[in-house]
Amino acid sequence: MSMDIFLQQLLNALSLGGTYALLALGLAVVFSIIGLINFAHGELMTVTGYAICFALIWGLPFPLAVIAGLVVAIAAALLMERIAFRPVRGASGTTLLLTSFAVSAILRVLFQNIISARPIPVSIPSSMSGVVTIGPLHLGMIQLISIVVTLVMLLGLNLFLHRTMAGRAMRAASEDFAVLRLMGIRANFVVATAFAISGLLAGVAGLLWVAQRGSVDPLMGALPVLKAFIAAIIGGLGSLSGAVAGGFLLGFIEVILQAYLPDSLLPYRDAFAILLVIAVLLFRPQGLLARKTLVKL
Amino acid sequence: MPRIGIQAVKGTITLALPLIALAFVAEFFLPAALARLATLYLIYVTAVVGMQIYSGNSGIISFGHAGFMAVGAYGASLLTIQPAVMSTSLPDLPVWLAGIAGGQPLLVGMLGALLVVGVVAALFGLPLSRLGGAAASIATLGFLVIIHVTLVASADITRGTQTFFGVPRGVSTLTALPVALIAVAVARIYRDTRGGLSLRAAREDEIAARASGVNVVRQRFLAWVLGGLVSGAAGVLLAHFLGAFSPKDFHFNLTFLLMAMLILGGISTVSGAVGGTALIVVMVDLLRRLEGGAEVFGLQLPQVFGLTDIGVGLVILAVMYRLRDGLFGLREVDERLFPEPVVKATPPAQSGASDNVSLAIEGVGCRFAGLVALDDVSFAVRPGLVTGLIGPNGAGKSTLINAISGVVPPSSGRVLLNGTDTALVPVHEVPTRGLGRTFQNIRLFRNLTVLENVIVAADAVAGPGEDSRAAAMAALAVVGMQDLASRPATSLPYGAQRRLEIARALALRPSFLLLDEPAAGMNPAETDALISVLRQIQAAHRIGLLVVEHDLKLIMRLCDRIVVLNKGQMIAEGTPEEIRANPAVIEAYIGKRRAAA
């Protein structure tokens, strides 16, 4: 394989894996605090896509449309928490899971009825869809942007969690929520922050997804978030670094399968990817970077 | 041969009668459209009951059972498809398959499909059953996607995303009925078998289930395969009811529908699956009529795409917000209406543990990332005697208990139970080899009855033909709790919960019993009752007790031997008198000032 094809594949893997990583990270942030696997995370992506799409239709310049999309994503995540998930806070994981499953399905039907069941095109600036030529290499612009954005988000979140008061409260909450509340930190604040972060991460992932595909539809978020679920378990549910690792791993597996599977087997790619990843669980049932949980017997 | 209890038979009949009545009324008295609805209902009951077998007993929500239905549907339809249609619709069928495909009777299709479903379920069950909780749920979702992708990709066999047609439509109410009845019987009987009960115990508390001898991974695997077969059978019926279908008919929308059916009635019971399915089938049928923009009381309603999905979603939310255990709650209808009478048992004149049992702690040390929690601890727990383990906070008592029970193997040294190193056997085998335990923070199977709590442990050691129920009642008699046998464990007062844990451990017929702070949080009266129970156990059963306690008075009253730990070191061992007089113990445990005084 020539150098630039190899590099292109590497970029593909990094950008796809990065998107999965952002999504899985958003899931893990919420899971680590309240034990919810948010099925409706994908709908946050979709909402972002629609927000960007309509902002552009209304004539906002692209950067403002992106900001609008992210603001809407965060607002939607906060609303979701307030309306749908607060009534079941503290319930079993099963209850939380089913609640979010229902929320996700209802939102999809609403998108189909209120907006459209068909994909709506989004006009992405041509500067984002070009090819960058570095010496002999031709690399996709959008992949490069994805990678940079992913890295910035990961670094930013890391700084937030370690350097700010709110971030430290979040990390403490993921260790032991009850004790944190005894310290006088309001539970609602911590949970809302977690949802805001997950909304932002879903928004960025949604932006990157729309930028690659150029359209939005009601089911846009379903497939990538499904992959992110799987990435999150592989990493070890609730472990933030595990979610990122799992996301990149899944991205690499998919790109490698895409590149090396014979044509006759290519349609099975997703099945192979999920199987490979689940096979990991045979050897590490707790995931790659499991959270150390101390169970008091 | 699985255990078929009288209660399970009663339950099966209770649920079967309405289904039989419905089928006959539908077949002979109702118009065709309603008869079709009744058939569909019976098919969905089969599918949901299959989910209930896995999800209801393990507590793990499954998104995968629509996948089993898909495998069943395609598997059977390939065998039964009309040969004339097959030659045009599936021209690229692989040779090995073309030889057997087409023209077979429905029963052959069913058996062939279930064979495939069983293999698929077993293969995926291997990794899946090692997972619990949310991770397992997501893995079942992965299973659904794998099945879907595979069906779409295998276009030579399935026609890919295109409709698979030409399947003989032979399923009526009376064909679906026997399958639904078998499904209900299998699920209801399974619930009360050793496997079903122990899986329900693991659902309530996995750690306590392992400590009661339950092989959780194996039970999850069996329930996954059994439930898969039942749902697969529903898929076979659905295919031969519809006659034509495509992979998307067995994807998220179906999963969503099945989920609502399961949780509306209540995931824990077969009754809930049967009842909840009925309500959702009726609701969905009504909503479908509205979806097309029907006229209600002269009002023309607009067309709403996906109204049924919204309805189903709202039902799920309503159940989650208001009624988490579903309409039927945690007990089966038969268990409420015709409970099995509790027959008191007399505690057996047990010969007790034989003399050639031993529990030896040999040079046990535990290190956690540089922290030495335990260092070179050696002593023996003697059969028929009470050994106390005391020490100030942080002395390493809990670490030692976990090492002895095999939960956290020691980093050095070993624990020999009747000569076997407990670190080398699976955690769930340590209890059945003669070491029972209780927990510092009570770990009961909260939503099982008192009797069921104990039966789980009795089952783990029961030989073929032995009556675990009687053995469990006998164990309850030892702690004086026979009268409470049919109460849910969670409804017991605190002291009784502690005693129930002891009864559960006793039902393992242990040679040694490890009690982790049994008197913690008890009032003096409860503590006295506890002491008399422990004395009785010690006297009647010759069990060696190892008691960890903070309550020094209790330890001094109860124990024959005492081991003292401090900062990970064993600083003394001896009779209560020796320990009371040991200056090192007084200094470490009671404090220097008191020691001087």
Which pLDDT value is given to residue B591? 66
Q: Verify whether the Cβ–Cβ distance B256 to A95 is below 8 Å.
A: no
Per-domain boundaries in chain B: 6-247, 435-509
- CATH at residue A76: 1.10.3470
Indicate the pTM of the whole model. Answer: 0.92
Whether residue B305 contacts residue A112, with contact meaning beta carbons closer than 8 Å, is answered with yes
Q: A45-59, A125-139, B98-112, B200-214: which has the minimum mean pLDDT? A: A125-139
Distance from CA of B320 to the nearest CA of A (A): 6
Bridge partners of B368, per DSSP, are B371
Chain B residues inside the 8 Å CB shell of A111: none
- The pLDDT-based confidence of B239 (bands split at 50, 70, 90) is very high
For the beta carbon of residue B75, count every other beta carbon within 10 angstroms.
Answer: 23
Contacts for B479-482 with beta carbons within 8 Å, 24 or more apart? B479/B503, B479/B506, B479/B533, B480/B529, B480/B533, B481/B450, B482/B342, B482/B344, B482/B345
Kindly state the average pLDDT of the residues B316-328: 90
Task: Classify A121 as helix, strand or coil.
Answer: strand
Whether residue B266 contacts residue B272, with contact meaning beta carbons closer than 8 Å, is answered with yes
Whether residue B262 contacts residue B51, with contact meaning beta carbons closer than 8 Å, is answered with yes
Structural domain contains residue A33: yes
Most confident range, picked from A108-117, B273-282, B298-307, B419-428: B273-282
Q: Verify whether the Cβ–Cβ distance B320 to A102 is below 8 Å.
A: yes
- The pLDDT-based confidence of A165 (bands split at 50, 70, 90) is confident
Distance from CA of A135 to the nearest CA of B (A): 40
User: Residue B483 has which token pair?
Assistant: 């009268």
Residues spanned by the domain of A80: 2-124+133-283
- The pLDDT-based confidence of B592 (bands split at 50, 70, 90) is low
Interface test with B, best of A20, A96, A106 (most B CBs within 10 A): A106
Which pLDDT value is given to residue B101? 85
Closest CB to A274: pick one of B145, B259, B516.
B145
Chain A residues inside the 8 Å CB shell of B138: 37, 229-230, 232-233
DSSP B51-114: HIIIIIHH----S-HHHHHHHHHHHHHHHHS-HHHHHHH-TT--HHHHTT-SS--HHHHHHHHH
Structural domain contains residue A296: no
Tell me the C-alpha distance between B226 and B410, whole Å: 38
Q: Locate the chain A residue with the closest alpha carbon to B437.
A: A297
- How many domains, in total, are found in chain A? 1
Say if residue B264's pLDDT is above 60.
yes
Chain A residues inside the 8 Å CB shell of B252: 105, 222
Chain A residues inside the 8 Å CB shell of B145: 226, 270-271, 274
Structural domain contains residue A293: no
Tell me the C-alpha distance between B36 and B56, whole Å: 28
Which pLDDT value is given to residue A1? 55
Tell me the C-alpha distance between B28 and B514, whole Å: 63
Task: Classify B365 as helix, strand or coil.
Answer: strand
Chain B residues inside the 8 Å CB shell of A87: 321
Q: What's the distance, CA A21 to chain centroid?
A: 6
Chain B residues inside the 8 Å CB shell of A106: 309-310, 313-314, 317
Distances in Å between the Cα of A184 and the Cα atoms of A32, A78, A160, A190 are 20, 22, 21, 11
Say if residue B349's pLDDT is above 60.
no
Structural domain contains residue A288: no
Kindly state the average pLDDT of the residues A6-35: 90
Closest CB to A233: pick one of B135, B207, B307.
B135
For the beta carbon of residue B18, count every other beta carbon within 10 angstroms.
Answer: 12
Distance from CA of B311 to the nearest CA of A (A): 9
**In this predicted model, what pLDDT tens digit does every residue of B16-27 receive, in sequence order?**
999 999 999 999
Most confident range, picked from B292-306, B339-353, B404-418: B404-418
Say if residue B449's pLDDT is above 80.
yes
Closest CB to B310: pick one of A106, A268, A269.
A106
Strand residue runs (E) in B253-370:
295-296, 299-300, 359-368
Bigger pLDDT: B526 or B505? Answer: B505
Closest CB to B313: pick one of A102, A233, A277.
A102
Q: How many CB pairs under 8 A join A and B?
A: 134
Say if residue B597's pLDDT is above 50.
no
Distance from CA of A270 to the nearest CA of B (A): 7
Name the burial class of residue B46, with classes exposed (0-12), middle (13-18) and buried (19+) by CB atoms within 10 angstroms of its CB: buried
Q: Locate the chain A residue with the closest alpha carbon to B217.
A: A285
Which pLDDT value is given to residue B5? 81
Kindly state the average pLDDT of the residues B508-526: 89
Task: Classify B544 as helix, strand or coil.
Answer: strand
Q: Verify whether the Cβ–Cβ distance A230 to B142 is below 8 Å.
A: yes
Which pLDDT value is given to residue B219? 96
Chain A residues inside the 8 Å CB shell of B61: 94, 97-98
Whether residue B542 contacts residue B349, with contact meaning beta carbons closer than 8 Å, is answered with no
Kindly state the average pLDDT of the residues B463-469: 84
Kindly state the average pLDDT of the residues A36-56: 95
DSSP B372-438: EEEEEEEEEEPTTSEEEEE-STTSSHHHHHHHHTTSS--SEEEEEETTEEGGGS-TTHHHHTTEEE-
Chain A residues inside the 8 Å CB shell of B324: 91-92, 95
Q: What angle do CA B176, B255, A25 make, to 5 degrees?
A: 160
Which pLDDT value is given to residue B35? 94
Structural domain contains residue A295: no
Closest CB to A285: pick one of B131, B146, B398.
B131
Percent over 90 (pLDDT), chain B: 58
Tell me the C-alpha distance between B204 and B201, whole Å: 5
Closest CB to A278: pick one of B139, B256, B317.
B139
